[in-house]
Structure 1
Amino acid sequence: MFIHGNRLQTLATALLLSSLLVRPLATHAADDLAEPKTVGEREETSEAVATAEASANDGAPNWEENTLTGNWNGARQKMYDSGVQADLLYTANFLHNSSGGLKTGGAYMGHIDLIMQFDGQKLLGWEGGSAYLQWISNSGGRFNRNYVGSLMGVDNFEAPVNRSGVFKAWLQQSFLDDQASLRVGLYPIDSEFYVTDSSGVFLHPSFGMAAEAASFGSLAGPSIYVTSSYGARLRIDPDPAWYAMFAVTRGVPSDRINTAGPNVSWQNSSGSMLIGELGFSPVKAGLLQDRPASADNKSDDFAPISKVALGLWRFTPQFQQLVAVDTAGEPLSATHWGSYLLAEQTVYRVPDANRDVALFCRYGFTDGTTSTLAYSVSAGLSYRGPFASREKDTFGIAATRAHADPQGRSQLSNDAGTPLSSSNETVLEMTYRAQIASGLVLQPLVQRIFNPGLYLSNATVAGVRVQMAF
């Protein structure tokens, strides 16, 4: 595998940053640590669906504390005891662009999630079996498309078109004493791959699956929100500190992304995507000292975030390069592939409280010839419980940058019909997620977008997200 010199240098920098994330914790806050969190235990807004997906592994949810409608006079508990869990979420985003981009103005966007989880053991006596079904519906305007023009997007719920339908639908079988599991069905890879818990509070799409991996190549793109495809995922946890995941999914055709609904049929998909990720937890490995529960708080269940992961993905068959041609004028072909490195770590915990600061950094790159974005890099922090009286609130600040190589810039310039003014698009986001009441979240935010679309003037976006769990 050949990596350009500047990308190798950036990857080395990311490796150094990941090691730096670990060192301050070991030297300054090691006494404040316990076991790491599992996905979904942080209450970040954009991870609400992941929280519902993980809850079956964490015992019965606390509906009275986490929803507006509570336990339905015990009906929810009875359903849960019989092997069925139902969750309904509604999210409304109101965003306004005050300067730059395509034009000033604002829009509303709405999103519904209906989630059903099934415990195979309780329902059918199916040992190690489970199932998951998620129906989604989008409504409202196209804020980024109409007002900003960002390559990376603005809002992680915005879709090319408003559609309603099934987004996830998979069966899972666990085996080897729950050290391995296999999922098969409608499977979006951004539900597990290339994600960090500490970036889940942000609205910008690139703090979920990063922009260069989420972008579409000349032929197809990945199975991610808002359009999923069929696939299978194998996860192995040979040791508490290590995990390995591998998935193969059908590709979503590039020429159908603006018209496809929440999923693409097997016949209408294009090629296949293969992705693998290897992850490691420094805390679980004992590289950082855990702090036992204090005498006054023996039931302390705080668990810090602690993960370093390396991923690699590629598509089959080969794609056409964006603009390169041979001597006969025929498009050259290349493998559409990429790799990424991510790290996140809790670096400070308020003593004897579930209030903490976590840092993250991520870097990923592509082949640079079959899709417009060559690499992206992001970093930031989230502060859960910034005030003693607001333990369930979260403050976050982060930045991300995406870069286009020569072929990508040529293609983008042709699409825009104008010369580009930059090869990089950069976004800075600051947000505060406040839990107003049980099941009700209010989240104001501001974004500064530099060089949207690589040719537009800098944009300033402000808005608010309202989320309700019923």
Structure 2
Amino acid sequence: MRLPCLLLAAALAVPAAATETMPPAPPPKAKSEKALTLGASYTIDLAVAGRGSNRLHRLDRLDLTGALASERFGWSGGRLFVRLLGNSGTRPNEDAGTLQGVDNIEVDKDGLRLFEAWVEQDLGRGSVRLGAYDVNSEFYFTDSSALLLGPSFGIGGELSGTGPRGPAIFPYSALALRGEAKVGRSGLVRAAVVNADAGTLTDRGGLGLGFREGVLGIAEAGSEGPGGKLMVGGWAWSHRHDRLGKEGQARSLGAYVLAERPFGERLTGFARLGISDGRTSSFRGGWQAGFTVAPAPLGGKDSALALGLHQAFLSRGERSAVADDGLRRAHSEHGAELTYRERFFDFVAVQPSVQLIRHPGGLAEARPALVGTLRLGWEY
């Protein structure tokens, strides 16, 4: 636990320098002078996961977005956003055997889905958003970790593994009401109530509207601006869910803190720490830390280099389940990732990545999983 604490302290102690936000970022807002903004991207991952398998996995994702500003229609400060995702391919984590996953575009079911569809109203010093929503588009999010392929760098496992189908994060969204308010020069308060029945309109069962499973409440507050980001957040489920490794049900809750700071004009570091009660999920807490350099050393003007470390601590229920199978349990699953991205012609990106995960699956005697991935991307 010393590493994330030291990084958090360093991030807060070093004076910040202004720098541009690292890509990729949450869905862009449509400019007021342009009524309709469209976007499209296509990503292909070619991955090999070690531990005795030489299978080449192929995954792909089609991402289509549209943002419509309302000013030209007599509605001031409104915005409509829609996002379609199409995912297909094999599953490299079947070979890697990790609890957190190894590729952030891997899905358990292929198909085209309406992932986000919401309307937002600008209130001057804040905004309100209503519709099918991705929690990780704004909550528990750091720009400088978004280049990394490991799913744990998107949102902590102590939150992503909770709920009846997980929270409303990729590849499932949920009906949500989100409010946001700016405080002072850089202060920010954000909160959302999210339907616990996550899904999408195009999946079987559709987007849950009945709230039979209850809701997820999540909030974060802190400061965000050119000089960096420091946020403290908390979350809780309204309904009880099945306990892991024990009979009965329990209500799940947790908290997190994240820091992100630029160091000079090219380097941006991040550190995140999350905890939970651990009664209904595989993890009771974890941390992620690393940095992104953009442009990368010896790279082009649009290149980027990122290094990330992560560790997720197994919950008592997960450790008991491993022991019940006659296997020796580990206290955590942890690893590292190094990735580099280079852009060509402003719309083509090539990104190799290497990951090493120790104690995959929470097994003390499991061989480390070495995962190599080549990501190819096209953007419009």
Distance, in Å, in 1 between the alignment partners of 2:137 and 2:204 is 18
Residues 357 and 420 of structure 1, relative CA distance in 2, 3 Å threshold: same
- Describe the SS at the equivalent of 1:132: strand
Residues 108 and 418 of structure 1, relative CA distance in 2, 3 Å threshold: farther
| TM-score, with length taken from structure 2 | 0.92
Q: Which has more radius of gyration?
A: 1
CA positional deviation for 1:465: 0.5
Residues 269 and 133 of structure 1, relative CA distance in 2, 3 Å threshold: farther
Match of 1:56 among 30, 34, 42: 30
Q: Quick one: percent identity of the two aligned structures?
A: 26
Match status 1:390 vs 2:339: no
Range 387-396 or range 193-202, more displaced = 387-396
RMSD: 2.4
Residues 309 and 343 of structure 1 are in contact (CA less than 8 Å); yes or no, is this contact kept in structure 2? yes
Residues 227 and 260 of structure 1 are in contact (CA less than 8 Å); yes or no, is this contact kept in structure 2? no
Distance, in Å, in 2 between the alignment partners of 1:378 and 1:421 is 22
1:444 is matched with which residue? 352
Alignment of 1:32-431 (within 5 A): 33-34=17-18, 37=20, 41-44=21-24, 47=25, 50=26, 53-57=27-31, 81=34, 83-99=35-51, 103-122=53-72, 124-144=73-93, 146-175=94-123, 178-217=124-163, 219-252=164-197, 264-267=207-210, 270-281=213-224, 303=226, 306-325=228-247, 331=248, 333-349=249-265, 356-387=266-297, 390-412=300-322, 417-431=325-339
More helix by share: 1
Residues 51 and 95 of structure 2 are in contact (CA less than 8 Å); yes or no, is this contact kept in structure 1? no
CA positional deviation for 1:182: 0.4
Distance, in Å, in 2 between the alignment partners of 1:139 and 1:247 is 30
Q: Deviations over 1:139-170 (max 9, x none)?
A: 111111x2111101000011111121200000
CA positional deviation for 1:389: 5.9
Distance, in Å, in 1 between the alignment partners of 2:349 and 2:92 is 21
Q: Which runs of 4+ in 1 moved over 4 A?
A: 12-16, 259-263
Residues 276 and 431 of structure 1, relative CA distance in 2, 3 Å threshold: same
Given residue 96 of structure 1, which amino acid in structure 2 is its aligned partner? V
- Describe the SS at the equivalent of 1:99: coil
CA positional deviation for 1:185: 0.4
Distance, in Å, in 1 between the alignment partners of 2:204 and 2:268 is 36
CA positional deviation for 1:413: 5.2
Residues 186 and 263 of structure 1 are in contact (CA less than 8 Å); yes or no, is this contact kept in structure 2? no
| TM-score, with length taken from structure 1 | 0.75
Residues 187 and 96 of structure 1, relative CA distance in 2, 3 Å threshold: same
Residues 29 and 67 of structure 2 are in contact (CA less than 8 Å); yes or no, is this contact kept in structure 1? no
Distance, in Å, in 1 between the alignment partners of 2:238 and 2:4 is 28
More strand by share: 2
Distance, in Å, in 2 between the alignment partners of 1:383 and 1:140 is 30
Residues 23 and 144 of structure 2 are in contact (CA less than 8 Å); yes or no, is this contact kept in structure 1? no
CA positional deviation for 1:370: 1.5
